[in-house]
Chains A and B, each alone.
Chain A
Amino acid sequence: MQEKIKVTINKKPIEVEQGTTIYKAAKELNIHIPVLCYMNLKDMGIEHNPGGCRMCIVEVEGARNLPPSCVTKCTDGMEIRTNTPRVLNARKTVMELILSDHPFDCLICAKSGTCDLQKMAQDLGIREIPYQGEQSTYREDTSPAIIREIDKCINCRRCETMCNDIQTVGALSGIYRGFEAVVAPAFEQNLEHSPCTYCGQCVAVCPTGALTEVDQTNSVLGALADPRKTVVVQTAPAVRAALGEEFGMKAGTLVTGKMTSALRELGFDYVFDTDFAADLTIMEEGTELLDRLGKHLKGDKDVKLPILTSCCPGWVSFFEHHFPEMKDIPSTARSPQQMFGAIAKNYFAEKIKVKREDMVVVSVMPCVAKKYERSRKEFSVNGDPDVNYSITTRELAHLIKQANIDFHTLDDQDFDQPLGESTGASVIFGTTGGVIEAATRTAYELHTGKKLDKVDFKQLRGMEGIREATVDMDGTQVRIGIAHGLGHARQLLEDIKKGKSQFHAIEIMACPGGCIGGGGQPLHHGNSQILIDRQKALYKEDAGKAIRKSHENPFIQTLYKEYLGEPCGERSHELLHTHYFDRKKRWIKK
């Protein structure tokens, strides 16, 4: 047992363990110290405290200077004051200095209202910037999904921690020094030419408007205003569990019905559900799994196992960049977003007699990478993308606010048919463990020919970064692995590479928590309880559904009967499957 030490903060005594920082000790006393660069993502095991912003300075009796509380450890007998005039004055000066090198376009900044810097300047009552001087400038970098406006960067380096330590993507790093210091990809390339997966976790933790998603709300409004266009919208499962937060509702409030109403009020011609396509994904991916597993059990040595899920575009980019030699292991099934796009622009367009080019498909996603995914060339026909625009949960909230829709008083409406019907299995696609549970429900019944009475596979649920479980499919033991967060995915991939992996199937989602923690969701500001609440909401929606197995979705059955034929059949392959590319850069001359 570690020895405890005694300190006082604002004259309140507290005992803490040796090694506790002043910031954490104060937190235990409910004494608030403002922080800007500091970030504590407890459940991901990451504490980011470079001590760089100097907002968290405090006064320590006997110390000459004002130490930053996020990195300074308590020592026995320390007398700490967090709000003396000296501290407040210094804090104000620090803020004025930060702002002296920050653009003043808050009114039109994408982060306005949710910006940590703006809030802190407000809290400190800054009304003028006494320091006038040169401002650092850096070119803007626009990629298909993320915009870097480095002039707004305050060098907190949170993005660097997410990109390198949590996601192990390694796209961003602090470069140069002093006034020239910026965060950038290697060799100051644009993001597009870096190994960035567009997972958007950097965007999710950026305290300012330096990193934002590419805003497509204006394009969506343009399509809605065009009378020649039939505008179809699809909403991903994780959106309904988080959108309410943008309107002040508690995390985990399900707003499926209100969201559907709002989309109708915005003027979408058809309000459909990506969940429908998630059920379709299960049909294709589940069939592929059973096919590979069956061959494996018959002793086929050439069959590739484990099969890896492929619904997450951040994850797909990750293995294309970092593990291209393994690109034939993941399922070839397209993501639900892309399956939806292909079905909408082929099957549905035909059905309602609308020409492909007159249909606009919009997706609402918890995700930033989906913007990139929709732009991939293989998902276009003659330059017309299957999904025209992809907006995040945050962007949808902006659209609703822009249209003056009172979200709270909206009635609960249902999705349109036929692409709006979904099962409980598809709803849980939005959380880590959900895709593989959904696949297991269908694979079990198809494999055994028996009816599954208990559809909840609790052993697959949870929040640990890497989980494993064995599912008994009537005597066949199927070993399943689950990883969320790309750093955890990397660990499982390294095992496969070394031939050490024991799994038959692995589910991977790029974002911590899965899509509920996606880069396009309402900002959680490091509070991981929000993710847990969103997860609970999805399991609740699943439990409340009449049909909870993808293959029992009647509209999916009709789709196969009328149009697709068999899962993994010829037409399915053409519309619902894809292939992957080696995106690793090589400079070596052969």
Chain B
Amino acid sequence: MSSVKVELHQKDVDKIKAIAKEHHNEPEELINVLHATQEFFGYLPAEVQEIVGEEMNVSAAKVFGVVTFYSFFTMTPMGRYPISICTGTACYVRGAETVLDEFKRQLNVEVGVTTEDGKFSINCLRCVGACGLAPVVMVGDKTYGRVSPDGVKDIIDEYKDAE
């Protein structure tokens, strides 16, 4: 079980209930509800999945089955600044892997893992539709183009001292 133990508050539960209701609590809508829920919480801990299951009339086991099947869903909380490195074909041939390795080296975490201070997490994604800027890195919603391993430190520094 790769989830952090969390205790949900009533307002969190109400939020999940509202999302489920928007989708008419239809079991067929499970994936959409999980998308919306992950968008809100940033990840899908076991406790959240249980409530989703209850609201959608699907067993927690089935919800967990769906969450572990699709790579988009995650049970580990993402960092406050989630770093996504595009490893689509265009970015890859222009050196995305060396950029990825540099991020991993500087932050000392693997793909899909969050730094201890909870600030950064690294994920790979496939093509953001900005191949002209390859290789592309996104931090949250912000896009960085033509990133080279040398530029990685500057990007991290931009967020390191934020807040």
B3, B9, B68 pick with most chain A CB within 10 angstroms: B68
Partner of B68, one of A175, A189, A587, A588: A175
Measured between alpha carbons, how far is A503 from B9 in the docked complex, in Å? Answer: 39
Residues of B within 8 A of A177 (CB): 68-69
Q: With A186-B50, A187-B46, A588-B13 as given contacts, are A164 and B69 in contact (CB-CB < 8 Å)?
A: no
Question: Could you tell me the distance in whole angstroms from the C-beta of A210 to the nearest C-beta in chain B?
Answer: 16
Residues of A within 8 A of B3 (CB): 187
Measured between alpha carbons, how far is A93 from B152 in the docked complex, in Å? Answer: 50
B46, B58, B61 pick with most chain A CB within 10 angstroms: B61
Chain A 146-173 interface mask (CB, 8 Å, partner B; 1/0): 0000000000000000001000011111
Cβ of A589 under 8 Å from chain B: yes
Q: With A186-B49, A186-B60, A588-B13 as given contacts, are A174 and B65 in contact (CB-CB < 8 Å)?
A: yes
Closest to A171 in B: B61
Partner of A188, one of B1, B49, B58, B59: B1
Cβ of B8 under 8 Å from chain A: yes
Q: Are B60 and A175 in contact (CB under 8 A)?
A: no
Q: Are B64 and A587 in contact (CB under 8 A)?
A: no
Closest to B1 in A: A187
Residues of A within 8 A of B110 (CB): none
Q: Are B10 and A186 in contact (CB under 8 A)?
A: no
Measured between alpha carbons, how far is A125 from B84 in the docked complex, in Å? Answer: 52
Question: Could you tell me the distance in whole angstroms from the C-beta of B44 to the nearest C-beta in chain A?
Answer: 11
A189, A585, A588 pick with most chain B CB within 10 angstroms: A588
Q: Are B62 and A170 in contact (CB under 8 A)?
A: yes
Q: How large is the interface on B (under 10, 10 to 19, 20 to 34, 35 or more residues)?
A: 20 to 34
Chain B 1-34 interface mask (CB, 8 Å, partner A; 1/0): 1010011111001000000000000000000000
Cβ of B86 under 8 Å from chain A: no
Residues of A within 8 A of B7 (CB): 587-589
Cβ of B97 under 8 Å from chain A: no
Measured between alpha carbons, how far is A433 from B11 in the docked complex, in Å? Answer: 46
Residues of A within 8 A of B50 (CB): 186, 585, 587
A-B contact count (CB 8 A): 67
Q: With A186-B46, A189-B1, A587-B51 as given contacts, are A173 and B8 in contact (CB-CB < 8 Å)?
A: no
Residues of A within 8 A of B68 (CB): 175-177
Q: Are B61 and A186 in contact (CB under 8 A)?
A: yes
Chain A 579-590 interface mask (CB, 8 Å, partner B; 1/0): 000000101110
Residues of B within 8 A of A589 (CB): 7-10
Measured between alpha carbons, how far is A585 from B60 in the docked complex, in Å? Answer: 11
Measured between alpha carbons, how far is A194 from B60 in the docked complex, in Å? Answer: 9
* A-contacting residues, B99-124, CB 8 Å: none
Q: With A177-B69, A585-B50 as given contacts, are A164 and B60 in contact (CB-CB < 8 Å)?
A: no
Cβ of B134 under 8 Å from chain A: no
* A-contacting residues, B39-63, CB 8 Å: 46-47, 49-51, 53, 58-63
Residues of B within 8 A of A173 (CB): 59, 61-62, 64-65
Closest to A184 in B: B61
Residues of A within 8 A of B63 (CB): 186
Q: Are A588 and B8 in contact (CB under 8 A)?
A: yes
Q: With A585-B50, A587-B50, A588-B13 as given contacts, are A187 and B59 in contact (CB-CB < 8 Å)?
A: no
Residues of A within 8 A of B8 (CB): 587-589
Residues of B within 8 A of A169 (CB): 59
Q: Are A175 and B47 in contact (CB under 8 A)?
A: no
Question: Could you tell me the distance in whole angstroms from the C-beta of A172 to the nearest C-beta in chain B?
Answer: 6
Q: Are B1 and A170 in contact (CB under 8 A)?
A: no
* B-contacting residues, A177-216, CB 8 Å: 177, 184-189, 194-195
Measured between alpha carbons, how far is A27 from B128 in the docked complex, in Å? Answer: 52
Q: With A170-B60, A585-B50, A587-B8 as given contacts, are A175 and B1 in contact (CB-CB < 8 Å)?
A: no
A-B contact pairs, 5 of them (CB 8 A): A170-B59, A186-B49, A186-B50, A187-B1, A188-B64
Chain A residues proximal to chain B, CB less than 8 Å: 164, 169-177, 184-189, 194-195, 585, 587-589
The 6 A-B pairs of least Cβ separation, nearest first, read: A170-B59, A173-B61, A186-B60, A173-B65, A587-B47, A186-B61
